[in-house]
Structures are given as C-alpha cells and as structure tokens.
Amino acid sequence: MTSDKSTSWSYTEAFASEDIVMDRARERSYELGVTAVSAGVGAVLTVLAASSKAHAAVEVGSGAGVSGLCILRGLASHAVFTTIDRDVEHLKAAREAFAEAGLLTSRVRTIPGRAAAVLPRLTDGAYDLVFIDADKPNALLYAEQGIRLLRPGGLLVVNDALDRDRVSNPAHREPTTVRLRELHRALRSDERLTAAILPTGDGLIVAARRA
C-alpha cells in the first residue's frame, strides 16, 4: 500500500462518527477480548441495512454488540434483528448495548449456540441481510447457509474478508487464508449471486442474491 493509499484508508475509517453508546459497546468488546468491526465497516453496515430496506436481518458472531448496533441503526423501526453467538457473555454484552440504545427487546433475538447448529434451523428465504463475522475456518459453511436464508435481492456480507492483507498474497498459505480464498471463489462463481469485495476495514465481501 502506498503512503497515499494508506492515508486514504485512514481517512475513510475516520469519516464515520460514533456516539457514547457505541463507545461503551467498544469498551465492552475490549474487556472481553473481542475485535469489534471498525468504524468504517460499521458505517457500511448501517448504509447497507438502510438501502436494503430489510425487514429481517441475521448476524453470525455478535461480539459485544458493535456490529449489531450498526445494523439496527440502518433497519426500519419494524425490522427484526437476530444475532447468534456461542459465547453467552458476548450475547449479554450485546444485549446491554441494545438496551442502552433504547431498542425494544421485541426487535432483537439473541440466540446462544454454534452457528453451524443454529443456522439450519432458521427459515429459508426469510431474511434480507445476513452478516457473518465469526470463525474464518467455517466462513464458507456460514455463507452457504446465509445464501439459503436470503430473499431475492437480499445481501450477504462477510467481514475480515482479506485476512489482514494475506488473501491477496499467494505466498500466505495459512489455513484461514486458504479457506477465505475458497470462499471468494465460491461466491464469485455462484450464479445465484452478484458479488464484490470492498477494502473497508479488513475487507468486506458483499453479495446480492439475484431475483
């Protein structure tokens, strides 16, 4: 990355503004040892949620609620948000963040458990937005489930898609990096999707399900 490109990346990350509720959610993330989405990624999630006019969204990997807050702030007031995490402390922190934001409990479902076990129980074609921010070795599995969950025109979004800039370098053969390359190929070749990679944060894959 050139110095100008690095400066531009820093500028875009700083473009998003965050409030005290988000600051506190980030503090909980730090205390729990969770890497929250960057401010830039959060802003993109809010825009995607708003532009998709989503009635229902699901998240894999709640962290401490930072990404959930971003998505919920883009959703319409009647939309329902579901977040899945195997760590109950993470879910507890997320619920605290949602409560501080004044969100009605009827709008949020927090489901404890392994995503590989929970996702198959969700209804086919019932969601407009699926956000994946969980263990990279299973990202392809989660994405396959996410595609099943999407309505036509719905969006699949995968965080940390560039694996700290290792995906683009063939010399990096770490298992997680290899798995992410497999995910990229799978989404790019899937005829049900139109996909792109955004360099925001550590990379976002955004794929729309064709009608």
Percent of the chain clearing pLDDT 70 (strictly above): 99
pLDDT, averaged across the chain = 94
**SS3 of 95, please?**
helix
Q: What integer pLDDT is reported at residue 43 of this predicted model? A: 96
pLDDT at 1 exceeding the cut of 90? no
| Residue 211: pLDDT band with limits 50, 70, 90 | confident
Q: Crossing angle, helix 66-74 and helix 39-51, to 10 degrees?
A: 30
Provide the strand spans (E) within the chain: 56-60, 80-85, 108-112, 127-132, 150-159, 193-198, 204-209
Evaluate the CA torsion angle 21, 23, 24, 28 in order and state its sign. positive
For residue 4, the model assigns a pLDDT of 73
User: Which pLDDT score is estimated for 2?
Assistant: 58
pLDDT bucket at 67, cuts 50 / 70 / 90: very high
Phi/psi of residue 136, each to 5°?
-65, -35
Looking at residue 14, its pLDDT comes to 86
| 80-85 and 56-60 beta bridge pairing | parallel
What pTM, to 2 d.p., does this model score?
0.94
Least Cα distance to 30 among 78, 91, 90 occurs for 90
The predicted pLDDT at position 3 comes to 61
pLDDT tens column, 124-175: 999 999 999 998 889 999 999 999 999 999 999 999 999 988 998 889 999 9
User: pLDDT value at position 5?
Assistant: 75
Residue with tokens 């927090």: 110
| pLDDT tens figures, 77-113 | 999 999 999 999 999 999 999 999 999 999 999 999 9
| pLDDT band, residue 121 (cuts 50/70/90) | very high
